[in-house]
Amino acid sequence: MKLVNKKILTERQGAKVTQIEVFAPDIAAKVKPGQFVALMVAEEGERIPLTVVNKDETKGTITLIFQEAGLTTGLLGRMNHGDSLYAIAGPLGHATEIKNYGKVILVGGGVGIAEIYPVAKAFKEAGNHITTILGARTKELLILEKELKEVSDELLVATDDGSYGKKGFVTDILKGLLDERRTTNDERLVYAVGPIPMMKAVSAVTKGFNIRTIVSLNALMVDATGMCGCCRVSVGGQTKFSCVDGPEFEGHEVDWEELDKRNRIYADKEKHICRLIKK
C-alpha cells in the first residue's frame, strides 16, 4: 500500500492531475483493463474508486491517475513517495471485454484519458485498428498523449480553447470522422470515458450512427463491492450497481440525467469540507 512513485502530470488553471504507483502485488497480479480499486488515504477517510491505469507484475505495483477534485483526491495528491495508503482493495468491477472488433474508436476527456489507456493498449494487442480522440480544456492539461500515440493507429485531439489540435469538443471530431466514413461504415465500437456531459454527448452522436458504445461510469461508491447500492444507475430502464454490474455499460442505455443528479448528492458537503481543510 506504499507509494513507490509519484509524478505530477499537469498543473494548470487550477487543475492538477497526478500519477502514483502503489505497491499492491496481489492486485497487480490480477487486475485487467477496465477494472478499478477502492482506496482510503486515512482511517477517517472516504473510500473512493479509481481505475487502474497500468500494472507491473514484477515490481508488484499498480498505477493510478487522478485529478484533485475533492477532499480525498486532494489528500491523495499530498501523499509522497514512501507514504502508505490506509487501505486498498481490488481489482473491482468487470474487466473490459477485449477481443478483435475490427475498428475501434476510443474517446477520452480530461482525466478520463487515463482510463482509456489500458483499454487502448489491450484492444491494440488484440489486433484492433485504434482511433483515439482526446479532449482537454487546453494544451497543457492534455495527458498521456505520447503513450496513447504508441498504441493508436491514429490520434486526434480537441481542446476547448483551440490551443492544440482542433478547437472544440471530442464530439465534433467524432461526428466528423463518422460522417466521413459513413460509406465504409466499418467502425464497430466506440469506447468513451470522461466527464458525464462528454460521455452523454458521445453516446448521442454514436446512437445516430448506430455504433455500439461502451462507457465507464464514475458513480459515487462506498464499499464498492456490491453491498450498499450507493452507485446504482439506471441502464435500459433497469437499476444496476456500477461497482459489481459495471463500471462499463452500454452508453445508449444509460440514464445520464439521473447519474448526473446522483453524483451531486453531496456537492454542498464536499464544498464545506474542502473549505475547512484549506483553512
Partner 1 sequence: MKKEPVRIKEKAAQERVGNFDEVVCGYSEAEALEEAARCLQCKDPTCISGCPVGIDIKKFIFQITQKDFRGAYLTIREKNNFPSLCGRVCPAEYQCRKSCILTKKGSAFASKQAINIHFLERFIGDFGMKNNVAVSVKEAPQMFRYKVAVVGSGPAGLCCAGELSRCGIKVDIFEGLHKTGGVLRYGIPPFRMPRDILDFEIDYLKKSGVEFFLNTIIGKVKSLDELFSQGYSAIFLGLGAGIPSFLGIKGENLCNIYSANEFLTRVNLMSAYKFPQAHTPVNIGKSVCVIGGGNTAMDSARVALRLQKLNGIPLNTTIVYRRTEVEMPARRLELEHAREEGLKFKMLVKPEEFIGDKDGFVKKIKCLQCELGEPDSSGRRRPVEIAGSDFEVDCDEDNRHRPESKPDFD
Q: Which of residues 217-246 bind partner 1 (CB under 8 A)?
A: 222-223, 225-230, 232-234, 239, 241, 244
Q: Is residue 218 helix, strand or coil?
A: coil
- Residue 271 found at the interface with partner 1 (CB under 8 A): no
Closest-CA residue to 106 (of 155, 43, 62): 155
Q: How far is CA 5 from CA 42, 61, 69, 175, 225, in A?
A: 19, 10, 21, 39, 27
- The yes or no reply on residue 27 touching partner 1 (CB under 8 A) is yes
| Positive or negative torsion for Cα 58, 216, 214, 243 | positive
Q: How many residues bind partner 1 (CB under 8 A)?
A: 44
Using CB under 8 A as the binding rule, whether residue 51 contacts partner 1 is answered as no
Q: Which residues contact 122 (CB under 8 A, 6 or more apart)?
A: 32, 33, 96, 98
Distance (Å, whole) CA 184 – CA 211: 13
Is residue 109 involved in binding partner 1 (CB under 8 A)? no
CB of 143 to partner 1, least distance (A): 26
Choose one: 89-97, 143-151, 157-165, 169-177; the region binding partner 1 (CB under 8 A): 89-97
**Beta carbon of residue 128, minimum distance to partner 1 (angstroms, whole number):** 26
> How many CB atoms sit inside 10 A of residue 194's CB?
26
Residue with cell 500515440: 149
**Segment near partner 1 (CB under 8 A), from 23-31, 59-67, 99-107, 178-186?**
23-31
Is the Cβ of residue 98 or residue 273 nearer to partner 1 in the bound state? 273
By the criterion CB under 8 A, which residues form the site for partner 1? 26-27, 30, 40, 42, 44-47, 71-72, 86-92, 222-223, 225-230, 232-234, 239, 241, 244, 257-258, 261-262, 264-266, 269-270, 272-273, 276
